[in-house]
Amino acid sequence: MMQNEVSVIIDNFLNHLNLNRNGGNLYSVEHRDNNSGREAIQLMKLHNLISERNPGNSGSIVDITSEGLSVIENGGYKNFIDNIKVKKIKKEAYDEEKSRYDLANAKRIYKTYWWTFGFALAAFLISLFNLYKTFTK
């Protein structure tokens, strides 16, 4: 339930900042007494949804960032977090598949290393022989 409360606080806060940004007004936020408000502000800073100016003990002046606007336009903070989770799952799947290909490629290279080395050595020896024949004519 705590996460839903934080999500609602973040959505409301970002919507408020979005409505008040057209006139260039910045919104002064006092650090909240409850844990949900403090957590919401920390999460917004962490995800770069708000930019802070003149941080002080009594409060901060913040403005919404382009990432914050993107969160509002794409369905709110809960959707933002869901998208992050989906991207993380896709990245993990990609990394796992990449690891499988890397392992298969490493095995192939290991199996064919001496063949490749042998062909390269044979080509080098043929080149030396041809060079010797060219100079001895």
Task: Specify the pTM.
Answer: 0.60
pLDDT tens-digit map of 90-121: 999 999 999 999 999 999 999 999 999 999 99
In angstroms, the Cα distances linking 50 to 10, 60, 127 are 10, 11, 67
pLDDT tens-digit map of 59-84: 567 778 888 888 888 888 889 999 99
Would you list the domain boundaries of the chain?
A: 1-75, 91-137
Q: Considering only the top CATH level, what class is 1-75?
A: mainly alpha
DSSP string, 14-72: HHHHHHHTTTTPPEEEPPPSSHHHHHHHHHHHHTT-EEEES--SS-EEEEE-HHHHHHH
Looking at residue 38, what is its pLDDT?
A: 75
How high does pLDDT run on average in the chain?
83
